[in-house]
Amino acid sequence: MSVRKFVIPALIAVPVLIVAAVFMVVPGRFGGATQTGSPDTPAVVRALAQEGLQDLRPFDTGTGTELRGFAGTAGQQPIALYVLRDGTAIVGTRIDANGNPLDMERIDDLLTQPTSETVWSKLAAASWVQDGKADAPRVVYTFSDPNCRFCNRFWASARPWVDAGKVQLRHVMVGVIKPDSRTKAAAILGAPDRTAALLRNEQQYASGGIAPAPGVPPEIADTLAAHEQLMAELGFRGTPGIVYRDETGAIQRVNGMPRPEALATVLGTL
C-alpha cells in the first residue's frame, strides 16, 4: 500500500477540537510495519514511515497531548499527520474556526530546506550533461529526451541566458518518448564530448537529431534507469521536467515547457 493515497487532506478543528476529518489512519493496518525509530514515536507514524512517508519531524500543535503533529513528505509533497490520543491519526490540513489553515508555516520551515537540499544533491549526483559555462551563477536541471520537441524548444529558448554565461543547464538524459530515444540518449552519454553531442542533437533536431548508438551499454542502461526513477520520484511524468532554485533557495519544479512569460522566473534575470 502506497502512502500517497493518504495525500487527500482535510482536517477541521475548532480551536483545539477536531470536528471532522476525511481520512483516518489506524495503527496495525499496514503490513510489514516494524518497531523502528524513537521509542516514543507513535506506532502509526512508524507504520507510515515503513510505507514510504519520509522526512518525518514532530511539531507542536499547541494542544498538549490531545493532538501530536508530524510533518513528512510523500513523493516530495509535504503533508501533515496528526496523531490522536487513542493512537489513530489523520492526514490532512488543520483548519481554525475561521477557516484558516493552521501549521502550514511550521511544516514549511521543517521541510522546505531539508527537502530542497536532498533533491538538489540527488540531481547533482546524476550523470547530467553540461550545457553552459561551468562558473555560471545559476544552475537549472532539466530531464531531457533526445526526441522531445518541447525539450528542444526549452533548449532554444534558454540560449540567451546560456550564451550570456548567466545559466548552466544540466540535462539529465532519459529515453522514454520513442523506441530510439534510449539509443540516442546512449549516443550522447557515451560520446567523448557529451556537451558537443547534446549540442549536435539540439541543433539538428528538425532533421532527426543525433544518430542513435548501435546499442545501449549496460552502464548507460543503468544510468538511464536511475534518471527515469529520479524523474518519477520528483513527480515528472514527461519531459522536459525542470528543477531550479527560487530566490529563497527552495526547489521549484516545472512540468513541461515554461510559458514565455515564465522563462525569467526559471532562468533568472537576463
Sequence-ordered list of residues with C-beta below 8 angstroms from that of 122, at least 6 positions apart, any chain: 230, 233
Question: Which residue range(s) make up the domain with 69?
Answer: 43-114
Asked whether residue 259 falls in the same domain as residue 180, the answer is yes
Crossing angle of helices 218-233 and 181-189, in 10° steps, is: 110
Q: Tell me, yes or no, whether 203 lies in a domain.
A: yes
Query: In this structure, is residue 99 part of a structural domain?
Result: yes
CATH number at residue 99: 3.10.450.70
Q: What is the largest CA-CA distance in the chain?
A: 66
Residues 177 and 68 placed together within one structural domain of the fold = no
- Residues 95, 164, single domain; the answer is no
58 assigned to some structural domain: yes
Per the rule left: phi > 0, alpha: psi between -120 and 50, beta: everything else, 185 is alpha
In 3D space, the residue among 114, 108, 58, 115 whose CA is nearest the CA of residue 81 turns out to be 58
Count: domains in the chain: 2
Are residues 202 and 262 both part of a single domain? Answer: yes
Same domain (yes/no): 136, 89: no
What does each of the 270 residues of the chain score in pLDDT, given as a tens digit? 444 444 434 333 333 333 333 344 444 443 333 333 556 788 888 888 887 777 788 888 888 778 888 888 776 677 888 998 888 888 888 888 888 888 887 777 777 666 778 889 999 999 999 999 999 999 999 999 999 999 999 999 999 999 999 999 999 999 999 999 999 999 999 999 999 999 999 999 999 999 999 999 999 999 999 999 999 988 898 999 999 999 988 889 999 999 999 999 999 998
Residues 109 and 141 in one domain: no
Asked if 132 and 235 sit in the same domain, the reply is yes
Q: Let me know whether 167 and 257 are in one domain.
A: yes
Residues 168 and 251 in one domain: yes
- Residue 178: inside a domain: yes
Give me 126's grid cell.
546524476
Enumerate residues 6+ apart whose C-beta is below 8 A from 147: 177, 178, 180, 181, 184, 209
Do 70 and 191 share a structural domain?
no
C-alpha gyration radius of the chain = 22
